[in-house]
Structure 1
Amino acid sequence: MSSSPTFNSIATILETDFRVARAAISPATALSDLGLDSLALMEFVFAVEDAFHLRIPEDRLDPREAGITLQRLCEVIDAESEAAAARAEPMAAAA
């Protein structure tokens, strides 16, 4: 499976900011298996949100929920990015 740009960005954040070994990072890796405590996990989600310039609604992804994978995080980010772009298009057309 080829890695998406979203996944590659998330992997870079984990490696650079949270010192997670690249070998431990795959789409199937659960957030709970990254070796981050609950505070670091929340900081990771904030870092991802900042990197993608979006906020992930907690009803879409609660990082404390068991079994959430990096692939699921990528899917939520991509969906939120598309939704944000769709909301911005009518404003751009009206300007």
Structure 2
Amino acid sequence: MSSSPTFNSIATILETDFKVDRSAISPTTVLTDLGLDSLALMEFVFAVEDAFHLRIPEDRLDPREAGITLQRLCEVIDMESSGAVAPAAEAAHA
């Protein structure tokens, strides 16, 4: 599985700001398995939002929800950051 630029940015934030070992970071890593307590997990999401200049609505992704992977976080970020493009792309496939 190749790493996307989004994933690489998230991995850097985890390594640099939250001192998570790089070997523990993969697209399939579940957020709750990163070794961060609930407060640190929320701070991580805020740091990611700041890095990508966006806000992730809680109905899109609640970091406290079980089973959310870093890959899912990447998908939500990519979806949110392309916001205006998605409806046009969906219309093209209709």
TM, length-normalised to structure 2: 0.89
Structure 1 residue 63: deviation in Å? Answer: 0.3
Distance in 2 separating the partners of 1:16 and 1:40: 13
Percentage identity across aligned positions? 88
Distance in 2 separating the partners of 1:19 and 1:64: 20
Asked if 1:69 is matched to 2:89, the reply is: no
Aligned to 2:40: 40
Aligned to 2:88: none
RMSD: 0.9
TM, length-normalised to structure 1: 0.88
Distance in 2 separating the partners of 1:40 and 1:30: 15
Aligned to 1:5: 5
Q: What 5-or-longer segments of structure 1 have no aligned partner? A: 88-95
Letter aligned with residue 4 of structure 1: S
Q: Deviations over 1:8-54 (max 9, x none)?
A: 00000000000000000000000000000000000000000000000
Aligned to 2:91: none
Distance in 1 separating the partners of 2:18 and 2:56: 20
